[in-house]
Amino acid sequence: MRAFEYASPTTKEQAVSLLGNSWDEAEVLAGGTDLLSLMKDGCVAPKRLVNIKEIRELRGISAGGGGLRIGALATIQELLDNRAVSRAYPAITQAAEGITSPQIRSLGTIGGELCQRPRCWYYRAGYGLLATDEQGEPLVPSGDNRYHAILGNAGPAYFVHASSLAPALIALGAKVRLFGPDGVREMWLDQFFTTPLTADDRETALKPNEIVTEIIVPTALGVKSATYEVRQREALDWPLATASVALSMSGDRVRVARIVMGHVAPRPWRAAEAEQVLAEKAVTEEVAQKAGELALNGANSLSRNGYKIQLARVAVKRAILMAARGGRG
Amino acid sequence: MQRDEKMKEKGSGLSRRTFLKVSGISLSVPVVLGHRTIKVAGAEVEVYGPGKVPIALTVNGAKHTAEVEPRVTLLEALRHELDLTGAKRVCDRATCGACTVIMDGKPVYSCSVLALEAQGKQITTAEGLLRGDRLHPVQQAFIDNDAQQCGFCTPGFVVACKVFLDKNPNPTPEEIQKGLGGNLCRCGTYVGVRAAVAQAANQYPNRKGGGNQSTSKGGR
């Protein structure tokens, strides 16, 4: 890890002033479970770390009539332990349960979970975000791509986005608030995620001198939600494919459905066709099956990850059925 | 700041050329420079490093001081500065659990916490579970259930099990399995570890009779 200087501001204004205009100037330190590993592997080498954990207003989770506010510094464990969240937003709790290490849940924050960098082993081994050789040729399509993208993978990005909470939050219609030198910016969480076109880009709309301050989730009144994960093992690991589903119900019929898949594309992946097939229908096994197939309609496997297409289909189908049962497995 | 940058290399292969260049102008500059204060957003904020800065850590109830660069992790400070080698460095990437310690009642990977950040927190390592010569019930249960083989993951596992039982004194087998999801054992002693946790739970001080305490106390 390269040497750096360290500051621990107590307000978001101070934090933003301590950040720089480029990513090599400064990085934001929250839980640290991803950032410090990235720094040890030389994937990022900031000259300064700005620890935001002393900024009190970024903490806490509050649920009220208007929905849910999750401070960027709320930990995964706090989210998991929050009864109001598990009652009204099972998709969020189930996604948080998939972060299986108690140690990561204690340190890891919501803001950090959304801003974590890809787990792509080429990236982590120093081949750059887009995993290229010295001539700039991509290594993933002909390499070991068993955990790489099956959607949105026409290049140059082939990695999958590592966030497990983002699909659930997007399905529930969440917004994210950012703070920078020009004040507050708010956007749909769906629009926060971007697919990098160059190795210097990031996977979010966050600028080097901005911080995530909070996530706002609208009320879940009349909404049934669930997250289903397909994973290799129960212990600490990222899932192979996940689906988060939110169904706005009118009686026993679906009014509007939102389906978002995780770990299948360089960004959380919305399945619009599958959403439409659920509209104005009662949820049955057949409809859920159909939605799973439609969700993966545009999928393209690389040389070694064809199996993920079927896993994602099943994840979508089971998440829909779970949501219809009120989030129960 | 350029001066700090160079001074940081002292003791870890400071080149002769750099030494000559620096020593000519900074013989009187101490190696530990502490911090500087800069004004941002109308407030004074302290910026530490990149050279060594003095820190104070509270580990197993005792206060320790050391001088470390900001890039030194809590794990490195424990092992190299305080000679507490219970927490092990294995993956050093927040994935194996061998470096697990308790920080303010919560299990954390000490490889992923900076030593600077750990100041002012109560830190407990495997060494801190002993009461004089007496083993903690979890430690005794590891011996009784043959819950280790090579032993490298054991201190991290023991600490993770202790903090798990603090929160779940009456765990079901499924909760034990899930509660230890942050630690790996390459020898595969999981059956023994789970049996050890079940045994220790029976002797646990805050165990309540009957009922399943699966819900956490939350927000500690």
B142 and B119, same structural domain? Answer: no
Which of A44, A76, A103, A107 is best to mutate for the B interface (most B CBs within 10 A)?
A103
pLDDT digits (tens, 9 = 90+) for A90-134: 999 999 999 999 999 999 999 999 999 999 999 999 999 999 999
Q: Which pair of tokens denotes residue A107?
A: 């340190």
CB–CB of B108 and A40 under 8 A?
no
pLDDT more than 90, % of chain B? 75
Same domain, B149 and B105: no
Whether residue B109 lies inside any domain: the answer is: yes
Shortest CA gap B38–chain A (Å): 9
Strand partners, B50: none
Nearest chain A Cα distance for residue B5, angstroms: 8
Interface contact flag, B182 A101, Cβ < 8 Å: yes
At residue A245, the pLDDT reads 98
**Counted domains in chain B:** 3
When pLDDT is cut at 50, 70 and 90, the band that residue B206 belongs to is low
Residue A227 pLDDT: 98
Q: Note the pLDDT of residue A236.
A: 87
- Please indicate, yes or no, whether residues B25 and B86 belong to a single structural domain of this protein: no
pLDDT, tens digit, 9 for 90 and up, residues B116-150: 999 999 999 999 999 899 999 999 999 999 999 99
Q: Domain A5-54: which CATH class?
A: alpha beta
Domain range holding B164? 137-202
Residue B61 lies in a domain: yes
Architecture (CATH level 2) of domain A223-324: 2-Layer Sandwich (3.30)
Å from A170 to nearest chain B CA? 25
d(CA B28, nearest CA chain A) in Å: 22
Q: Is the peptide bond before A156 cis (omega within 30 degrees of 0)?
A: yes
- Hey, are the CB atoms on A17 and B41 less than 8 Å from each other? yes
B111 and A36 in contact by Cβ < 8 A? yes
Do B161 and B188 lie in one domain? The reply is: yes
Nearest to A37 by CA among A213, A257, A208, A236: A236
For residue A292, the number of C-alpha atoms closer than 13 Å in the C-beta half-sphere is: 25
Nearest by CB: A101 against B116, B163, B181: B181
Q: Hey, are the CB atoms on A3 and B50 less than 8 Å from each other?
A: yes
Which residue of chain B is at minimal alpha-carbon distance from A100?
B181
Q: Cα separation of A287 and A278, whole Å?
A: 7
Domain locations along chain A:
5-54, 223-324
* CA–CA distance, B132 with A254 (Å, rounded to integer): 63
Choose between B212 and B122: higher pLDDT: B122
Closest by CA to A67, choosing from A200, A221, A268, is: A221
CA-nearest of A25, A42, A31 to A124 is: A42
Residue B108 counted as domain residue:
yes
C-alpha A55/C-alpha B51 separation (Å) is 25
Report chain B residues whose CB lies below 8 A from the CB of A37.
Answer: 92-94, 112
The residue of chain B nearest to residue A30, with distances taken between CA atoms, is B113
Nearest-neighbour CA in chain A from B133: distance (Å): 28
Structural domain includes residue B75: yes
Whether residue B178 and residue A100 make contact (CB cut-off 8 A), yes or no, is yes
Q: Looking at the partner chain, which of B5, B112, B219 has a beta carbon nearest the beta carbon of A36?
A: B112
B216 domain-assigned? no
pLDDT score for A235: 82
pLDDT for position B212: 38
Q: Test B114 with A107 for CB contact under 8 angstroms.
A: no
ipTM of the complex: 0.96
Inter-chain residue contact B106 with A51, CB threshold 8 Å = no
Query: Based on the domain organization, do B76 and B120 belong to the same domain?
Result: yes
Q: Which chain A residues touch B49 with a CB distance below 8 Å?
A: 3-6
Provide the pLDDT for residue B208.
Answer: 59
Distance CA B117, CA B105 (A): 16
B218 domain-assigned: no
Residue B209 belongs to some domain of the structure: no
Q: Give contacts of A11 with chain B, Cβ < 8 Å.
A: 41, 43
The pLDDT of residue B218 is above 90? no
B28-31's contacts with Cβ under 8 Å and 24+ in sequence apart are B29/B3, B31/B7, B31/B67
For residue B42, the chain A residue with the least C-alpha distance is A14
Would you state the pLDDT for residue B209? 53
Chain A residue set in contact with B, beta carbons under 8 Å: 1-11, 13-14, 16-18, 29, 31-34, 36-37, 39-41, 48-49, 51, 53, 77-78, 81-82, 100-104, 106-107, 234-236
Given an 8 Å threshold on Cβ–Cβ distance, is A103 in contact with B100? Answer: yes
Instruction: Give pLDDT < 70 ranges for chain A.
Output: none
Size of interface A-B (CB pairs under 8 A): 135
Residue B6 has pLDDT above 90, yes or no: no
Q: How far apart are CA A68 and CA A66, in angstroms?
A: 7
Instruction: Give the type of residue at B20.
Output: L
Report which DSSP code applies to A238.
Answer: -
The whole-number pLDDT of residue B7 equals 40
Give domain status of residue B64, yes or no: yes
Find tokens 């594309």 and name the residue. A265
Domain end (from B78, B95, B128): B128
Q: Confidence class of residue B25 from pLDDT cuts 50, 70 and 90?
A: very low
> Which sign, positive or negative, has the C-alpha torsion B201, B202, B204, B206?
positive
Among A6, A10, A11, select the one facing B48 at the smallest CB separation: A6
Surface-to-core class of residue B132, CB atoms within 10 Å of its CB (0-12 exposed, 13-18 middle, 19+ buried) = exposed
* Contact yes or no for B70 and A17 at CB 8 A: no
pLDDT higher than threshold 90 for residue B27: no
Residue B206 DSSP class: T
Contacts of A40 in chain B (CB under 8 A): 92-93
